[in-house]
Amino acid sequence: MANPAAPSPTPAAPAAEPPAGMVRVPAGPFKFGPRGDEVSLGEFWIDLTPVTNKQYAAFVAATGRRNPNHWGPDGYDEKEADHPVVCVTFADAEAYAKWAGKALPTPAQVEKAARGTDGRKYPWGDSVGLRTGNTREAGVGRTTPVEAYPRGRSPLGCFDLAGNVLHWTRGPYDKEKGTLTLKGCSFRHYLGPVAWTYEAPPDQRQDCVGFRCVWSPPPG
């Protein structure tokens, strides 16, 4: 088991420059949602991969936040250091993002990073591909390392935007259902278009839900 201690006395301030491991998503319009509505977003940067167990463990060590409930007393299984962290609530994910000087993405930001500006159905194009992601069709039945499916990368090079884990996003919150929007796909779900959304209560911990972060340039 491993839970590397890399203590930081205080949460990181919002980064003045994009942190390492992120890719730029240029400002401009793209086709959003099942109807392909044109939506315009400002420039932002997004993590190339979901946050991993190893990255999350550094946050736990620095802040004292509780471990995900499937980790052992000494932390995550060393063989899963590069797997996406799962069994985290929305509040856990948001706290990590703030600690790292980033933020959680909106559904539109995740979708633009996944489908680019040409309105493609999946991150890699419009056709179902071979070994493009860890979805239910792959038969793995659990998470895999975040860079295990390079054929499934998005136009900007992001991994796991249609497989491995669903992603927490910043809204919208459905007051009637008490749920937040999840984007992407997971090992428990059959492959679906990146325009699809899922829902979950923000305090729910699921073994197929993780997250990645975004960063936006300071104004001015």
For residue 37, give both structure tokens: 């509505």
121-159 pLDDT, tens digit per residue, is 999 999 998 899 999 999 999 999 999 999 999 999 999
- d(Cα 188, Cα 140) in Å, to the nearest integer? 9
The CA distance from 208 to 4, in Å, is 23
Tokens, residue 198? 């899922």
- The set of residues, in sequence order, having a beta carbon less than 8 Å from that of 158 and lying 6+ positions away, is 23, 46, 47, 48, 49, 113, 114, 123
Which backbone phi and psi does 115 adopt, to 5 degrees?
-110, -5
pLDDT digits (tens, 9 = 90+) for 166-202: 999 998 899 999 999 999 999 999 999 999 999 999 9
Indicate the number of domains in the chain.
1
Whole-model pTM? 0.93
Q: Is residue 36 part of a domain?
A: no
Specify the 3-state DSSP secondary structure of 137.
helix
Residue 197 lies inside a defined structural domain of this protein? yes
Domain with residue 82: its CATH number is 3.90.1580.10
- Residue 22 falls inside a structural domain: no
In this structure, are strands 166-168 and 209-210 parallel, antiparallel, or unpaired?
A: parallel
- Please write the tens of the pLDDT for every residue from 13-65: 667 789 999 999 999 999 999 999 999 999 999 999 999 999 999 999 999 99
Residue 156 lies in a domain: yes
Indicate whether 62 belongs to any domain. yes
Q: Has residue 192 been placed in a domain?
A: yes
Domain that holds residue 56: 45-215
**CA 29, CA 6: separation in Å to the nearest integer?**
40
